Amino acid sequence: MTPLHKQCLLGERLSGELLLDCHAHIGRHADYIIPRNQPEELAEEMRRLNVRGAFVFQFTGVQTGEVAYGNDVIADSCCRVPRRFMGLTMVNPCFECDVMPELERCRGLGFAGVKLITSYQGYPDDGPLFEAICGFAHEHHTPILNHWWGSKLEEWLQRFPQAQFITGHWDPGRAELVRRYDNLWVCTCLPIAHESFEIGMRDLRPDRVMWGSDMSDLQFGVGLGPILLARVDEEVKRRVIGLNMLELLETCGIPAPDAWDP
C-alpha cells in the first residue's frame, strides 16, 4: 500500500503534499440549496485537507444573465479569504455586448482567468464570440476553462498559444490533442470512477492533468479518492493533485497560494 493510498483510506490530512484545485464554485444556485457555501467555510475545509488554493467561479450565471452579480460574489470572496481563491470570470456570450466589458472589469478586480459554460447557456460551441474570448485569454496569458469544449478546440489551441485551455470536466478523449499542444489541460472533475481515471491516464500526458473538485457542488473527497486510490504511480498522483496546476500558475504568472501554517 502506497503512502497516498494509505492516507486516503485512513482519512488523514495530506500533510506534506501540494494540493491545488482547478475547478471550484462559490455562492448559491437558484435551483437547489448548497450548504456551507460561504468562502470562509470553504477555506476551512481546504485547510483541514491541506488544499492550498483553488480556481473559483460562480454558480449564479450558469443559466442566467446575472454574471456580473456572480462575478462580484467571487471578487468579494477573494477579498474575504485572500491568497486562497483565484477567481475566473464567467461570461455569457448570449449577451454579446456585455462580454468584453465584463472580462476587462474583472481583470481590473484581479481575476486570474476566464470561465465558460456555454453548453448550459444555449450558446453554440463554435459561436463567433469564442474568437474574441480566447483572444482575450491569449493576450493576457491567462487560463480559460470551459465546461465542454466543442469541435473548434484544436483551431483555438493553434491560434491562441498563450491562452491555457482547460477542459471543465474529465475528457480523456482529448488525449491526442493533449499530446500535441502544451496549452491544453484536462480537469479530472466529474466525479471520476476509479477505473475511468486509471484507463484515461494510460493515454493522457501525466503533466497535463489537474484535479478539480467541483466544490461546493461536491465535497473535495469525492474527486480526490479515485485519484489517491488509483493503481497509478505516486508521482503521477502528485502531479495531478497539485504539481501540474503549480506549473500552470507559473506559466501564467499567477502567484501560487502559500502553504498553510502547521
Q: pLDDT value at position 180?
A: 97
C-alpha R_g of the chain: 17
Examine residue 34 and state whether it is found in any structural domain, yes or no. yes
Could you read off the pLDDT of 232-243 as tens digits, one per residue? 999 999 999 999
- Residue 260 maps to a domain: no
Per-residue pLDDT at 32 = 67
Q: Does the pLDDT value for residue 30 go beyond 90?
A: no
Higher pLDDT, 125 or 262: 125
Burial per residue of 176-197, b for 16 or more beta-carbon CB atoms within 10 angstroms, e otherwise: ebbeebebbbbbbbbbbeeebb
Is position 58 within any domain?
Answer: yes
pTM for the structure as a whole: 0.96
Averaged pLDDT, 27-31: 72
pLDDT band at 194 (very low <50, low <70, confident <90, very high): confident
224 occurs within a structural domain? yes
Closest CA to 166 of 33, 23, 62, 37: 23
Domain that holds residue 177: 3-252
CATH number of residue 246's parent domain: 3.20.20.140
* Overall number of domains in the chain: 1
Q: Is residue 115 one of the residues assigned to a domain?
A: yes
Within a domain: residue 223? yes
* Residue 60 domain-assigned (yes or no): yes
